[in-house]
Chain A
Amino acid sequence: MTRAFDLFYGAHQALRSVTLEVPSNSVTAIIGPSGCGKSTLLRSFNRMNDLIPGVRTAGQVVVSGRDVYAPGTDVVELRRRVGMVFQRPNPFPKSIFENAAFGLRLLGIRDRGELEARVEQSLRRAALWDEVRDRLGRSALQLSGGQQQRLCIARCLAVEPEVVLMDEPAAALDPTATARIEELVLDLKKRYTIVIVTHNMQQAARISDRTAFMLMGALVEIGDTRRLFTSPREKLTEDYITGRFG
């Protein structure tokens, strides 16, 4: 999906000629030490980096056959096709229902019945429905951190994106909540293409089909997760996964 992609924050080059392929309906994990550019790469898929002043890019990011950095790209429409879940749960200070319905309302859906049906469907897919079905009108901020994160996932799924980007979605959660998110990711790949950044190599090994290892803005190695963890081709990858630096 990316070809020789560079990204600069002002003078600082954060991504160096990254080329990687993300197969659909699979989970691709991005691992690497802090500051290596994982988040930056992820945010390139839906052009969230555009919000930062001084960002320049070169090369291509292709989503469903279209270069998203091509002139004339409708960024708003792109972000509807490429959803994103952030590291810290960031529900809106609104009701649970309104959080899940937010994207639907952006699409102009006003019909109450349709909103309710699609909110329920997305909450079910995010494995949250049973916990919140009888308090949809309550503030989303009263949910636990793990529930909030699943609500954020539901909010993103409601608009039926093709790709779901997740930036360390479990980093702010306890082990039980983390396990639920991991289960959820495995379930979601049936329908969606998932790219997930994680600091946790066990997590990458548990949930991803393919893993990409990055270092200082460059992609070192990408491949089948099992293969990458058992017989890495690059010395740097091996050093990283055996914990010799990081």
Chain B
Amino acid sequence: MWADEAYRRLLGALALLVPVVAALVLYETARGAGPSLRVFGWGFLVSTDWDPVAERFGALPYLYGTLVSSAIAMALAVPFGIGSAVFLAELAPPRLGAVVSFVIDLLASIPSIVYGIWGLFVLAPWLRSAAEPWLTAHVGFLPLFQGFPFGIGMLNAGIVLAIMVVPTVVSISREILLATPRSLREAALALGSTRAEAIAVAVDAARPGILGAAILALGRALGETMAVTMVIGNTNRISASLLAPGATMASVIANEFAEATGKLYLSALVEIALVLFALTVVVNALARLLVVATTGGRRDVAGAA
């Protein structure tokens, strides 16, 4: 009896520890951001000034950079990831599917600096000499693809991010697809569906979970730091062109934290961290809500991991 009670309390205390630590982190971040919050208020989010000498700080270029690089990553990773998940779950021989999925899961464990080096030494030269000139020549009428082909910049960061998050999309979507009941496919086939039409039914049934996978991937892309810092070019300008360099919230913190001497400078960087924190919390909460709202009470449809 006594031992049971002690054990229960111990576990309870341990379980409480996690939210307490999270709350402390949030509290410290908010406290650190205090001076900047008081000086700049909401203007911090819409100002493009970033002048450590004059001590004027605005986070818009970084907010913009985070959103745009993540958007590029999503635009590439989601269609490609869903496509390969469908292939692995539905079309590939089961053995091949299992092996390839294992390799894809391994990709998720490669340290991000390795992706950064690849982006810098492999992707950037290719973008500079081949892909970006081609884009300017053929779709250069769009502001998105104008300007000098630097090789590093928003596009490079987006592609590197896409490669980093695609395993998340593939492996979760594949598992969701494998968990959709056979009976749905059988029903579709028995009604005279072709194989492709039956697969479409399964993908449709798995949609809430696949959506969850995409948002989880987005959460990773928003916060990724090392690789992005290496390939994005690190300027605080907002440029319409994806070929131009930029910076993200995570990358500016990584770049400038060590040299941030002024109190307000440091506080502004901490406030950026706070904004990033809020953004990822919102994205993750949204993911959870979406998945629960669309699968809640439905036992026949697999939820997200």
CB distance from A191 to the nearest CB of B (A): 18
Q: Which residue of B184, B191, B205 is within 8 Å of A80 (Cβ)?
A: B191
CB distance from A198 to the nearest CB of B (A): 19
Residues of A within 8 A of B (CB): 46, 48, 51, 76-77, 79-80, 83-84, 86, 88, 90-94, 102-103, 106-107, 141, 152, 155-156, 159
CB distance from A171 to the nearest CB of B (A): 14
Q: Which residue of A93, A106, A141 is within 8 Å of B191 (Cβ)?
A: A106
- B193 adjacent to A106 (CB under 8 Å): yes
A-B contact pairs, 10 of them (CB 8 A): A51-B189, A76-B193, A79-B189, A80-B191, A80-B192, A86-B183, A92-B184, A92-B187, A93-B300, A106-B197
CB distance from A151 to the nearest CB of B (A): 11
Q: Which residue of A51, A77, A86 is within 8 Å of B187 (Cβ)?
A: A86
Q: Mark B200-234, 1 if CB is under 8 A from A, else 0.
A: 01001100000000000000000000000000000
Q: Does B298 count as interface, using CB distance less than 8 angstroms? A: yes
Chain B residue total in the interface (Cβ 8 A): 19
Q: Does B28 count as interface, using CB distance less than 8 angstroms? A: no
- B191 adjacent to A83 (CB under 8 Å): yes
- B301 adjacent to A156 (CB under 8 Å): no
- A152 adjacent to B187 (CB under 8 Å): yes
Q: Which residue of B186, B193, B205 is within 8 Å of A93 (Cβ)?
A: B205
Q: Chain A residues near B197 (CB, 8 Å)?
A: 106
- B184 adjacent to A90 (CB under 8 Å): yes
Contact A102:B188 (CB < 8 A) given known A92-B201, A92-B205, A141-B300: yes
| Complex alpha-carbon distance, A77 and B190, angstroms | 10
CB distance from A218 to the nearest CB of B (A): 26
- A51 adjacent to B186 (CB under 8 Å): yes
Q: Chain B residues near A84 (CB, 8 Å)?
A: 190
Q: Chain B residues near A92 (CB, 8 Å)?
A: 184, 187-188, 201, 204-205
| Complex alpha-carbon distance, A152 and B188, angstroms | 11
| Complex alpha-carbon distance, A156 and B187, angstroms | 9
Q: Which residue of B184, B192, B205, B301 is within 8 Å of A79 (Cβ)?
A: B192
